[in-house]
Amino acid sequence: MQYQSQAVAKPYFIFALMLFAGQVLFGLIMGLQYVIGDFLFPAIPFNVARMVHTNLLIVWLLFGFMGAAYYLIPEESQRELHSPKLAIALFWIFAVAGTLTILGYLLVPYAGLAKMTGNELLPTMGREFLEQPTITKIGIVIVALGFLYNLGMTVLKGRKTVINIVLMTGLVGLAVMFLFSFYNPENLALDKYFWWWVVHLWVEGVWELIMGSILAYVLIKTTGVDREVVEKWLYVIIAMALITGILGTGHHYYWIGPPEYWKILGSVFSALEPIPFFLMAVFAFNMANRRRREHPNRAALLWAMGCGVMAFLGAGVWGFLHTLAPVNYYTHGTQITASHGHMAFYGAYAMPALRGRPDGNSNKAQVVEMWGFWLMTIAMVFITLFLTGAGILQVWLQRVPESGVALGFMATQDQIGLFYWLREITGVVFLIGLVVYFVSFFVDKDTEIQSA
Amino acid sequence: MADRFTKSMARNIYLGGSVFFILLFLALTFDTMQAMPQRDNRAQLTEAAARGKLVWEQNNCIGCHTLLGEGAYFAPELGNVFQRRGASDSETFKAFMHAWMNAQPTGVPGRRQMPQFNLTDQEIDDLAAFLEYSAGISTNDWPPNIEG
Ligand code: HEM
Ligand code: HEM
Ligand SMILES: [Fe+2]
């Protein structure tokens, strides 16, 4: 660490990892409810577990992005953070608000939570991923503004690099697109149209800027490759991301009301969306091969390369699999969607966050960390494969046959139970990998104590 | 990458490309908004349906079900439940909805359970109106069959 204020990133990463553990636990609860339908019912109905699972995901990724930004921006700008105090204050505000929201989901029936928080005044709740009470959403906006102010001042007064400008652009974009979560018209088709401006334009738009800049930073640090080269790559990657990803939004507009031309537009542009992910993978490997130094943190480089590959597989390959309108007609809203969502989120956004650890880890700790990496990553590959298997069967039984012949939804689910069991077992392996990853944090301390 | 391809060229592609596609996307959105009145079934978006949407949201139905293919994949698609369970008839569908909502949870051991939401009769009527309205949105013939 070169700048003292980079230390504010630490609580962000620690809290993010705690939330991640919670996310996986609730994933396992849901995975079991998929096969033992009444598990934990009525204490934790499936929808509650799902809200907790996906909202924890979003919130811990936001914590991870914030931590990464607090770590990266001072170094890139070559000066201390504008206000470390503000960063710590915002951490506590966000952590408390986030925890209260999750507790609200678990302890109060959702309708009661809506009433308590005055949802009727400005109804924004009850839409997938945007289930947070309206006041929580307002809190998120306030935290985001403070965060952007703090970083913005740092960058303005310091050195401006391609990396920190792109990162700031991505973070501002993240905040701006989130504002669409406050637009919830009574007209369902319009509601859905603009809902995707948050969800799609996040994961296949501005978040790619964030991820690209973090990747570029890590590669400069770990490989020592010339900044000019890295920055050129970064520009090409984010150019492709936005050129394909913006109109790529159309792959969500096939069946929810918008005109038919979106079938062509969405298919063509989203079919090109794997390109930026492919470039990211090539970028990571290319830089690693051209490395000019052996950085002591080999685990970081492993995460960087793994992230490139998994993001390409999950977003690029699994995204492409179901993105063309004639295919999506059959796969829309099946387990195929879930399989893609898992690998893409893990590869593109969870892995970068998990990699966030500065240089000085002992060798032993890194070995344990790499075990965690392989367990989680391989488990995620198999979770994806099993869900894909479930999805193909679901399409075959429920979607392809004509009305009257096709199996109903619930009957189909019974038929594919085996795949859900396999997914659940693999989920346990994922959890073990996560625990191993956590253990690697404490290995360091032991050796310190021993050597002292 | 060849050296002739410079960083500033890359930057210009990024800036020019983004601005161009943002503007194009906004123009297409404008065009879509012009087309929506013929497609989004707003004629049936009555006050009851609007209230029903709020009931739908405030009970987080999307946390288990899909609606027009979006949501969770734990329970059946409801964008066409008006056709599937209501035989495309308002009164039949309303009757079905009352019976269904009041019968939950089934309590069948091991089967996926839907909670009891304790809705009033009015709320169930509104919910039915909302799902009937949703079923009339032009979806380019999705889903492929009645099972959703
Ligand atoms: C890191 C990037 C990505 C992430 C995190 C991601 C995540 C997701 C998630 C969570 C969903 C489900 C949304 C819902 O619940 O309704 C989804 C849907 C979808 N994604 Fe992605 N995605 C990414 C990139 C891509 C790419 C590059 C493509 C295309 C090549 C793609 C194609 C699709 C399609 C077609 C759907 C709709 C599936 C359906 O109709 O049910 N995604 N994505
Ligand atoms: C032990 C591991 C996990 C299990 C068993 C699990 C299980 C589940 C289940 C059952 C659902 C709900 C599917 C439905 O709506 O019917 C879900 C949704 C989701 N999970 Fe996980 N999950 C796990 C880990 C993860 C991880 C590590 C991530 C991301 C890094 C993740 C991201 C998501 C996303 C984005 C959704 C929404 C998908 C969509 O809407 O298409 N999950 N998960
Ligand atoms: Fe998308």
Interval A307-335: pLDDT, tens: 999 999 999 999 999 999 999 999 999 99
Average pLDDT over residues B19-46: 98
The answer to whether B18 contacts A242, with C-beta atoms less than 8 Å apart, is: yes
DSSP class of residue A206 equals: I
Chain segment A203-215, per-residue pLDDT in tens: 999 999 999 999 9
Average pLDDT over residues B98-126: 98
pLDDT of residue A451: 35
Choose the closest CB to B110 out of A36, A256, A263: A36
User: What residues does the ion ligand 3 have nearby, CB within 5 Å?
Assistant: A 200, 204
State the CB neighbour count (10 A cutoff) for residue B103. Answer: 11
Percent of chain A at pLDDT exceeding 90:
91
Q: A253 C-alpha to center of ligand 1: Å?
A: 12
- Of the candidate CATH numbers 1.10.760.10, 2.60.40.650, 3.40.50.150, 3.40.50.720, the domain formed by B41-135 belongs to 1.10.760.10
Any atom of ligand 2 within 6 Å of the Cβ of A350: yes
| Distance from C-alpha of A307 to C-alpha of A374, rounded to nearest angstrom | 12
Give the model's confidence band at A446: pLDDT under 50 very low, under 70 low, under 90 confident, else very high: low
Q: CA angle, corner A284, sides to A283 and A285, nearest 5?
A: 95
| Distance from C-alpha of A333 to C-alpha of A179, rounded to nearest angstrom | 25
CA dihedral B123, B124, B130, B132 (to 10 degrees): -160
Do residues A365 and A436 lie in contact, with contact meaning Cβ atoms separated by under 8 Å?
no
Average per-residue pLDDT for chain A: 95
Do residues A253 and A262 lie in contact, with contact meaning Cβ atoms separated by under 8 Å?
yes
Do residues A139 and A133 lie in contact, with contact meaning Cβ atoms separated by under 8 Å?
no
Q: Return all residues near B89 (Cβ < 8 A) that are at least 6 apart.
A: none
Q: What is the largest CA-CA distance in chain A?
A: 74
DSSP class of residue B116 equals: P
* A412 HSE (CA, 13 A, CB side): 26
Chain segment A179-201, per-residue pLDDT in tens: 999 999 999 999 999 999 999 99
pTM value surpassing 0.80: yes
* Three-state DSSP state, A350: helix
Q: Which helix (H) or strand (E) holds B70?
A: strand B70-71
Contact list in A for residue B29 (CB cut-off 8 A) is 193
Peptide bond into B105 cis (omega under 30): yes
* Pocket lining for ligand 1, CB < 6 angstroms: A 128, 203-204, 251-252, 270, 273-274, 311, 315-316, 319-320, 322-323, 328, 332-333, 337, 340-341, 344-345, 348; B 69-70
pLDDT of residue B32: 98
* Confidence check on the interface: ipTM exceeds 0.90, yes or no: yes
First-to-last alpha carbon distance for chain B, in angstroms, is: 48
* Three-state DSSP state, B67: strand
| Residue (of A225, A216, A220, A240) closest to A165 by Cα position | A216
Any atom of ligand 2 within 6 Å of the Cβ of A251: no
Each domain of chain A, given as residue ranges in start order, spans 1-160
Phi, psi of A344, deg, nearest 5: -65, -45
Handedness of CA A246, A251, A257, A261 (dihedral sign): positive
